[in-house]
């Protein structure tokens, strides 16, 4: 896995014109809506994946 994952679109306007922000690691700025935001990886969940196929009638 890479150390730096880039977002694909702005969480506010959906545009893809993103650039790294000078605030530091994980900070991005959107040239379309002129907003800056920061991403942070919190960790893995301990419960693991949850199965969704418990039976019943499928449509």
Reply yes or no on whether the pLDDT at 58 is more than 70: no
Reply yes or no on whether the pLDDT at 4 is more than 50: yes
Q: Which residues contact 19 (CB under 8 A, 6 or more apart)?
A: 28, 29, 31
pLDDT in tens, 15-45: 999 999 998 888 999 999 999 999 888 888 8
Give the span between the Cα atoms of 21 and 4, in whole angstroms.
Answer: 13
* Contact between residue 43 and residue 56 where contact means Cβ atoms under 8 Å apart: no
Reply yes or no on whether the pLDDT at 57 is more than 70: no
pLDDT at 20: 94
Say how far residue 50 (Cα) sits from the centre of its chain. Answer: 20
Name the more confident of 45 and 48. 45
pLDDT at 1: 45
Model pTM score: 0.64
Sign of CA dihedral 10, 31, 35, 5: positive
The distance between the two most distant Cα atoms of the chain, rounded to a whole number of Å, is 53
């Amino acid at each position: 896995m890479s150390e730096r994952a880039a977002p694909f679109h702005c969480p506010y306007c959906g545009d893809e014109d993103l650039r790294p922000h000078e605030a530091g690691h994980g900070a991005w700025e959107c040239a379309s809506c002129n907003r800056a935001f920061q991403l942070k990886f919190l960790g893995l969940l301990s419960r693991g994946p949850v199965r969704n196929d418990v039976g019943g009638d499928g449509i």
